[in-house]
Structure 1
Amino acid sequence: MAKLILFNKPYGVLSQFTDRGSETVRETLSDYIAMPGIYPAGRLDRDSEGLLLLTDDGRLQSRISDPKYKLPKTYLVQVEGEATDTALAKLEQGILLKDGMTAPAKAQRIDPPDLWERDPPVRFRKTVPDCWISLTIREGRNRQVRRMTAAAGLPTLRLIRCAIGEWTLDGIDPGTWKHIKI
């Protein structure tokens, strides 16, 4: 039976078990998960938070992370500025990035979610509004959500992946994980 771990990756943690080549000590998955033989299925940038899946099954890892399977990934994104209908429509139609056109996404304005505090906190500026959007993509390009929101005129302030396919962060606190039987 395959192991599947749902981990709520905190801000600043690398999506790998070791940190080679860095002069400063950075947190890795090994600071939170002591289970041999599992590997991340995909990645989540150091400055992003939320759901990271890990497994010991190579086929499952491929099905989760390979873009050809088009598994939906949903993010809660705090952006700088007001998410206008025009900006959301751009995200939904697909955005032209340096590495090509993105697939259409599902984008909507949402109320600020009830979340844990981030350390360090997101910078706050009295004169610049911010808002939250939910964004679902089916690709996994490098820093794709951040690049998409920036191209739509909404730079990302905080990024939390809350779902990958059927798996969600529900009931998993930052820095903790849950084992799912597959």
Structure 2
Amino acid sequence: MAIMRLDKALSMTGMTRAEARKAVAAGRVQAGGTAVRDPGFKAEPANILLDGQPIDAPEHIYVMLNKPAGIVTATEDSRWQTVLSLMPEHIARRRPGPVGRLDRDVTGLVLLTDDGQLAHRLISPRTKAEKVYLAECEGALDAEDTALFASGMALSDFTAKPAKLDILSSGDTSRALVTLTEGKFHQVKRMFAAAGHPLLRLRRLSIGGVKLDESLDEGEWRMLTDEEVEILRAVR
């Protein structure tokens, strides 16, 4: 990692800049084995100690959240609780943004990161990052619905790209996996409604090949593994 100011490196651990400057001024910070009292002093994070211990200051953070219903996929909202509010303080202070959006009533995988370059690539229309959803809808799904999704469905304001519909069960209500490479506003709901099958429930299972950790209860989160981050970086 590149060298950076002490106060910036410390803020990447979850400290505020004010707390970081106070820690430096108090002589609690060493760089290269020497106590430093200038918060503007630059060093590699790997060579910085706080209270004699190496700091944990990754350049970027990558979080997997199992979003419950009722939470908005945003960092701020004047009315509803946000995904960022589910993060502990040391994560929330870094202001990781959600990669794409889920409607408030939709559950499942949300990725949050402060790696703007990766986030932008994953949500770019030019990037074919597959998103997989588990949908429950009204009515019996059949082969005609599978063909309709695959054909590129014409909605009121745009034509959706071809999507894959794998029917899991069919009856008075049906369950299916939906795979698509775009994510416009209310898109999955609108596609099912246009097919005559209003959605009852929707849950996102994966983004760009990274699958929701099913050991996470709704509202729980964990950091992505290095392997999962590399999977996302490989998406083109």
Q: How many corresponding residue pairs?
A: 163
Distance (Å, rounded) in 2 between the aligned partners of 1:28 and 1:8: 13
Select the residue among 31, 40, 50 that pairs with 2:85: 31
Distance (Å, rounded) in 1 between the aligned partners of 2:184 and 2:159: 11
SS state at 1:69 partner: coil
TM-score normalized by the length of structure 2 = 0.66
RMSD value, Cα:
1.6
Select the residue among 28, 52, 55 that pairs with 2:113: 55
Name the structure with the higher helix share: 2
Q: How does 1:94-173 map to 2 (within 5 A)?
A: 94-111=152-169, 129-170=172-213, 171-173=215-217
Q: How far is the alpha carbon of 1:70 from its aligned partner?
A: 1.6
* Maintained 8 Å contact 1:87/1:153: no
SS state at 1:78 partner: strand
Distance (Å, rounded) in 2 between the aligned partners of 1:5 and 1:111: 32
Q: How far is the alpha carbon of 1:71 from its aligned partner?
A: 0.3
Structure 1 stretches of 4+ moved >6 Å: none
Which residue is 1:15 aligned to?
73
Q: How does 1:70-85 map to 2 (within 5 A)?
A: 70-85=128-143
Using the aligned pairs only, state the percent identity: 37
Which residue is 2:25 aligned to?
none
1:177 partnered with 2:221? yes
Q: Relative CO higher for 1 or 2, CA cutoff 8 Å, sep ≥ 6?
A: 1
SS state at 1:101 partner: coil
Structure 2 residue ranges without an equivalent (≥5): 1-58, 230-236
Distance (Å, rounded) in 1 between the aligned partners of 2:100 and 2:202: 16
Distance (Å, rounded) in 2 between the aligned partners of 1:80 and 1:92: 20
TM-score normalized by the length of structure 1 = 0.84
Q: Could you tell which deviates more after superposition, 60-69 or 143-152?
A: 60-69
Structure of higher CA gyration radius: 2
